[in-house]
Homo-oligomer: A and B are copies of this chain.
Amino acid sequence: MYRREIKVLDCTLRDGGLMNDWHFDKAMVKDLFDNLAKAGVDYIEMGYRADKKQYNPKDFGPWRFCDEEDLREVAYACDSKISIMCDVDRTDYDAFLPAKDSLVKMVRVACYVPDIDKAIHLGNHVKSLGYEVTVNIMAVSHALEPDLDEALTQLADTDFEGVYIVDSFGYFYSEQIHYLAHKYMKLVPGKQIGIHCHNNQQLAFANTIEAIIKGVNLLDASIYGIGRAAGNCPLELLMAFLKNPKFDVRPVLDLIQKYFVDMKKELRWGYEMPYAITGVLNKHPRAAMAFMKGVHGSTYREFYEELLSVDDT
């Protein structure tokens, strides 16, 4: 599948950091950046830029904050652009240099549907500093249709570059991806539409393909699928699917073998029954992550029945 407009964004450090509080050491991150650049990935997301007044830097690795000086130790200007993510209500507006003085080229603003006004406010601030901006509307499988439509209509009036479909809970099947891709493209004309999938039902790669087929051009993926809970669309599979000669999957294979096979045994993202159960039931993975840490102390059957009986959607 070749389409010139398709851009691949690696979210390994940012979404993967949700599994280890961003404690990736700098030598590894430098090696990762080098190899992702060699692989031809369009964007490399280095982490979040969280507000240090809300999150104590002592409690997290540097990629929860992505200070410019930390970025400069591991990354450099090259054909792969650097992105960071920030959450509404968790971001210090003063933490951004003008884009011309920063390694960062794109800022992705994450929000839920009810916070779309805040996301646009933050996005406008970042945009005024010269960055590319996207808005990533999370947990859209819990959104009310008219609210989502209004949010998308508001985003159409911004000068942001893109808007992402985010399947935070790994709940969607292909037909729902088709429906949302159509909706986003219709309501936000002229902007790039993106997709960020979670892999609870082993559908992250498949749903990314379905989004591509329907015209989505900004594709999130991560090395060996690392990410919160079941993780994301595996970068190595996506690159093989795209077949664009600008991509070279071999540096990604090297990174998987050097770091990620062992890391997966420790952090345990991927296909695990508790994550599959929250995915199937359209629930936040936090209960599954607690189960995986042994906090829950029950069987899969009990976990399933308990979640079935919780009406929090």
Contact = CB atoms under 8 A, between A and B. Distances in A.
Given A273-B256, A280-B237, A206 B174 contact: yes
Interface in A193-222: 199, 201-207, 209-210, 213
A201 B241 CA distance: 10
Given A205-B202, A237-B201, A174 B174 contact: yes
Interface residues on A, range: 35 or more
A249 interface: yes
B205 A205 contact: no
B273 A237 contact: no
A117 to B, nearest CB: 36
Interface string A278-304: 001000000000000000000111001
A301 B250 CA distance: 6
B254 A202 contact: no
A179 interface: no
Contacts of A28: none
A270 interface: yes
Nearest to A253: B300
A69 interface: no
15 contacts: A173-B209, A173-B241, A174-B209, A201-B205, A201-B237, A201-B240, A202-B205, A225-B271, A236-B273, A237-B280, A249-B304, A253-B277, A254-B300, A257-B301, A270-B271
